[in-house]
């Protein structure tokens, strides 16, 4: 949208820029990430190296599940502003989400070194180390995060077999009828963690934090008769649910996501599905 006012009144460039920033921040606060991305891109069309615009674009892309785009935005922001630890931390998270574990560790470790009181930095470092199977280092970083902020970064739970069974059953019952039918009879497996190679093999890569993945590959065109061999849940990631209710919620989200991807459905339009 053209922000210039018709007639003799025109917005000067700085005022127009501030209005765009205000709209961008409002969209982010309201959770309208697609609109925020569009507004950030419009702002950066006019001011390609506007640091605040790049940072907010990175935030919107992360929230919209586009960590690859977020990496580029945060990398450019870091190049422009240099010593910005918040931007480095967000860059580390974005790199982690695309399985660039070495790159993520480099920047997050730097934040933790220079800001040792930052619980989030230690927690992110624990996730990065955990994904590399560096268990002792990962536990040390997690314990530090927990000591600094036990409410935000609790220690993981260890769900019992009975809790796993009941959580999966409750999650399935909470799905749309079409998805309940989809999962009927499909085996549910609990595995320790996803393999890094399988996450990297996807385009874009899957997050190391993913809760579950189907076993099997759907036909190129959605096939209502096709079925996965099994659903695989990852204990290491689901143990991070703070409560049983959150555990069930995460299991349900994984079931919905994987079924919708298999069937080629839009999760926001399940009520319209036959």
List, for residues 118-158, the tens digit of each pLDDT value.
Answer: 999 999 999 999 999 999 999 999 999 999 999 999 999 99
Determine the pLDDT at residue 6. Answer: 46
pTM: 0.88
**Is the per-residue pLDDT at 257 higher than 70?**
yes
pLDDT at 7: 44
- Asked if residue 229 has pLDDT above 80, the reply is yes
Q: Are 171 and 248 in contact (CB under 8 A)?
A: yes
| Rounded alpha-carbon distances, angstroms, from residue 163 to 158, 167, 193, 209 | 10, 6, 18, 20
- Identify the CA nearest to 194 among candidates 240, 247, 131: 131
Which residue carries 């070194």 as its tokens?
113
Q: Residue 22 has what pLDDT?
A: 87
Distance CA(68)–CA(144), nearest Å, equals 29
Cβ-based burial of 155 (10 A; exposed 0-12, middle 13-18, buried ≥19)? middle
What are the two backbone dihedrals, phi and then psi, of residue 231, each rounded to the nearest 5 degrees? -110, 130
pLDDT for residue 77 is more than 90: yes
What is d(CA 234, CA 251) in angstroms, rounded to the nearest whole number? 10
Q: Is the pLDDT of residue 25 over 70?
A: yes
Element (H, E) at 190: strand 188-191
- Kindly report the average pLDDT of the chain as a whole number: 91
Residue 1 has pLDDT above 50, yes or no: no
pLDDT of residue 274: 60
Average pLDDT over residues 161-185: 97
Which 8-state DSSP code applies to residue 12?
A: -
Per-residue pLDDT reduced to its tens digit, 176-208? 999 999 999 999 999 999 999 999 999 999 999
Q: What percentage of the chain carries pLDDT values higher than 90?
A: 79
pLDDT of 244 over the 60 cut: yes
């Amino acid at each position: 949208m053209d922000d210039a006012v018709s007639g003799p009144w025109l917005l000067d460039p700085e005022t127009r820029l501030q209005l765009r920033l205000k709209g961008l921040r409002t969209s982010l606060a309201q959770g309208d990430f697609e609109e925020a991305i569009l507004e950030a891109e419009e702002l950066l069309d006019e001011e390609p190296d506007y640091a605040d615009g790049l940072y907010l674009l990175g935030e919107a892309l992360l929230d919209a599940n586009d960590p690859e785009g977020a990496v580029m935005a945060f990398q450019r922001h870091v190049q422009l502003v240099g010593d910005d630890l918040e931007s480095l931390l967000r860059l580390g998270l974005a790199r982690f989400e695309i399985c660039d574990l070495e790159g993520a560790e480099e920047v997050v470790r730097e934040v933790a070194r220079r800001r040792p009181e930052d619980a989030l930095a230690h927690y992110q470092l624990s996730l990065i180390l955990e994904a590399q199977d560096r268990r002792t280092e990962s536990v040390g970083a997690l314990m530090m995060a927990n000591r600094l902020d036990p409410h935000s970064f609790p220690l993981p739970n260890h769900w019992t077999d009975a809790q796993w069974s009941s959580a999966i059953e409750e999650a399935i019952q909470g799905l749309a009828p079409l998805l309940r039918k989809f999962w009927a009879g499909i085996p549910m497996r609990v595995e320790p963690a996803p393999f890094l190679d399988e996450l990297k093999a996807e385009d874009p890569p899957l997050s190391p934090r993913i809760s579950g993945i189907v076993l099997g590959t759907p036909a190129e065109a959605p096939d209502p008769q096709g079925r996965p061999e099994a659903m695989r849940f990852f204990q290491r990631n689901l143990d991070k649910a703070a409560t049983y209710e959150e555990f069930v919620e995460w299991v349900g989200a994984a079931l919905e996501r994987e079924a919708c991807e298999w069937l080629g459905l839009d999760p926001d339009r399940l009520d319209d599905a036959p």
